[in-house]
Amino acid sequence: MVSKTLSMLALAGAAVAELPPIHIKGMKFFYENGTQFYMKGIAYQAEIATAGSSTNTGNNTDYKDPLSSESDCKRDVPLLQELGVNTIRTYAIDPKVDHDKCMKLLDDAGIYVISDLSQPALAINRDEPEWNTELFTRYKDVIDALAKYKNTIGFFAGNEVSDAKNNTEASAYVKAAIRDTKKYIVDKKYRPMGVGYASNDHPDIRNEIAEYFNCGEDAEATDFWGYNIYSWCGKSSMKESGYDKWVEFFKSYNVPVFFAEYGCNAGGAKTRIYTDTEALFSDEMTGVFSGGLVFKYQQEENDYGVVEIKNGKAEKQGDFDALKKAHAKVNPTRVQEKDYNPNTGRDQCPAVGDVWKSNKNLPPTPDQTLCDCAEAASECGPADDLDIKDYGSLFGYICGEKPELCAGINGNATTGVYGAYSMCDAKAKLTYLLGAYYKDQKSSSSACDHKGKASVKKANAESSCLQRCHFLRQCPQQPGCHRYWCSCQPHQHFHYWRQRQCRFQHFHLPRLHLRQPRRCPVQRRCPRRWRCHDCSVNASYFVETLGMYLSSSLSV
């Protein structure tokens, strides 16, 4: 009832003081008063090829932020209202520009926003995935930019990153991004906002990928699941489109599921009749799905738009009225939060094998301070004028000559083993690697030249940097090796494996407390021998040897 009232007020042009925020319970979205919320949405962003520059602020964006232009929003928001839209999805915003005016126009119209955190030039690459400091900074900036608006529902940490069975390793990096951005929202004391993932519909991995993002601890699992699906074309049916199978599959999911993109255009946008919209909001689907977002608002070369922008003016396309009528027709059954008992169980993580290749162990959280420390501690670094395009030859040479030195910067999503510096940006990784190679070659002058691409520098790490605790996930190449984890912060742990002896120690600064050994990854029980190793004393040693095989040199 409340949601219908909000929609009527918006359509009548009445100014709503501020939309109530949407929150999640189980697999459903709710308004503050406990009424269920469904997304009747649309994708709202121009393609990169037609986008131009986002702003004139020198941010070097190659996309157009759809929430940065007040004039565009004044043109489009009334049309979004006419379509009966209550949610838009943006794929890339510029966090350095002002969004107040557009977000206020959307808020007054009863429209919520869900936004991707990446941008075209700064996203997790499915072929060479990383979750690093540069990406994390981008994600945090977008959250900071949109968190203050109550009509922000949440964020996508990735869109169709693993889109086939040959790139499923990338999912570990996206899931790490979900984990870290969720924690960032909590640490910043923002109101609850979900962080999720939008997946394509690939038959080889559709089950595994949904299970993977839903398995494990709450802190690292997705808050919602967006499904990009285009299988319902024209006058299809639940069975013909496969929608019935997805209702069955997701009925035991414990987070909201919705169509992050939908709307088959087999005969072009103008032929779309949106019978899939009617199905999506019918009783056959609303017990499981929370609505969806039609792809898309702007008509472009891909021929999906309901509106074409010409000379700054919006012209309705043939399917505009069809979508408007479909949205107006639907009246989904809603539950009250107080009457809803959610499923709290999570999926089992899919087994790593020929099809699924992402381990449940995730990449480390990007730590800019640690990366800065590594750069400062290195005695060799890239030449000041070295182009980033030339980094590859240096990585290739050193890793070819001394592969053990590269363990600290590499990550393997299939084994779940990640070097301590795998989360740094390219420059920090290269600086660390050049320094490690230079020391390995006994500081020979030729070992820090590389045909003028590198030069000797003074190590400049402060003691406060060297005494930081370091998260280590570097193992010797032995069966059953789990990970190294060093922490000198209060109430955290140091867990390592050495010569088939698993030892568990608990550090509580300023004093050290010993605990009994925990279960060993190799043996049923760890040996009853344990000693205390104060990692704060040896922090400089860790800085110098991160990424090396510590099993051969760690003194206990």
Name the nearest CA neighbour of 126 among 90, 89, 165.
Answer: 165
CA separation for the pair 226, 260 (Å, rounded)? 5
What are the angstrom distances between the C-alpha of 16 and each of 8, 38, 107, 134, 150?
11, 19, 7, 38, 12
184 three-class SS: helix
Strand partners of residue 159: 198
| 160 is annotated as an active-site residue | yes
Q: Could you tell me whether strands 112-116 and 87-90 are parallel, antiparallel, or unpaired per DSSP bridges?
A: parallel
Given the residues 130, 261, 375, 544, the one annotated as active site: 261
DSSP secondary structure, 430-482, as one string? HHHHHHHHHHHTTT-GGGGTTTTTEEE------HHHHTS--------S-TT--
CA separation for the pair 186, 188 (Å, rounded)? 5
Q: Which phi-psi region, left, alpha or beta, contains residue 510 (left: φ > 0; alpha: ψ -120 to 50)? A: alpha
The structure tokens listed for 423 are 């989360």
Strand partners of residue 513: 506
Given the residues 160, 220, 308, 379, the one annotated as active site: 160
| Residues 477-501 as b or e (16 or more Cβ within 10 Å = b) | eeeebbbbbbbbeeeeebbbbbeeb
Q: Are 252 and 210 in contact (CB under 8 A)?
A: no
CA separation for the pair 157, 260 (Å, rounded)? 13
CA separation for the pair 459, 457 (Å, rounded)? 6
Q: Which amino acid is at 358?
A: S
Q: Which amino acid is at 377?
A: A
Name the nearest CA neighbour of 353 among 474, 208, 481.
Answer: 208
Residue 552 has a CB neighbour count (10 Å cut-off) of 9
Q: Could you tell me whether strands 152-159 and 257-262 are parallel, antiparallel, or unpaired per DSSP bridges?
A: unpaired
CA separation for the pair 208, 349 (Å, rounded)? 8
| 47 is annotated as an active-site residue | no
Name the nearest CA neighbour of 109 among 71, 73, 57.
Answer: 73
Catalytic amino acids? 160, 261
